[in-house]
Amino acid sequence: MCHSIPVAGIDVAFRTDDESGLVEIQVAVKTVGKTGAEMEALLGASVAALTIYDMCKAVDKSMTVSDLRLVRKSGGKSGEFVRPGEEEAEWDM
């Protein structure tokens, strides 16, 4: 964990593209805490990506982990945020 906040739930989802070898990871974190949930989600996505890298490095050491970003958040001190251009980035979680 990044912060010592009470986490009420975590959802992790993966989308793959067999042709390109791309793996997309989405992590959603729910908390009753006032701040920090987006950091927990970013950490979860990072750990998932690094775990996939570790499992696949024997096949392809040139893999990259990239485009880690916050897409959407609500609540907390700064309120609602949706990354421009990714308004439709909803996953079934």
- Give DSSP secondary structure letters for 15-78: EEETTTTEEEEEEEEEESSSS-HHHHHHHHHHHHHHHHHHHHTTT-TT---------EE-SSTT
Kindly state whether residue 2 falls inside one of the protein's structural domains: no
Q: Which residues are catalytic?
A: 54
On whether the CB atoms of residues 31 and 6 are closer than 8 A, the answer is yes
Name the pTM for this structure: 0.84
Q: Is residue 91 part of a domain?
A: no
Q: Is 92 among the domain residues?
A: no
Identify whether 24 is part of a domain.
yes
Task: Kindly state the percentage of the chain with pLDDT values over 90.
Answer: 59
Q: Is 59 domain-assigned?
A: yes
Query: Confidence class of residue 2 from pLDDT cuts 50, 70 and 90?
Result: low
Q: What range defines the domain where residue 41 resides?
A: 7-82
Q: What is the CATH number of the domain that holds 61?
A: 3.30.70.640
pLDDT digits (tens, 9 = 90+) for 28-40: 999 887 777 898 9
40 in any annotated domain: yes
Specify the long-range contacts of residues 57-61, CB closer than 8 Å, at least 24 apart. Answer: 60/21
17 part of a folded domain: yes
The domain total for the chain is: 1
CB-based contacts of 92, cutoff 8 Å, min separation 6 = 13
Let me know if residue 23 belongs to a domain. Answer: yes
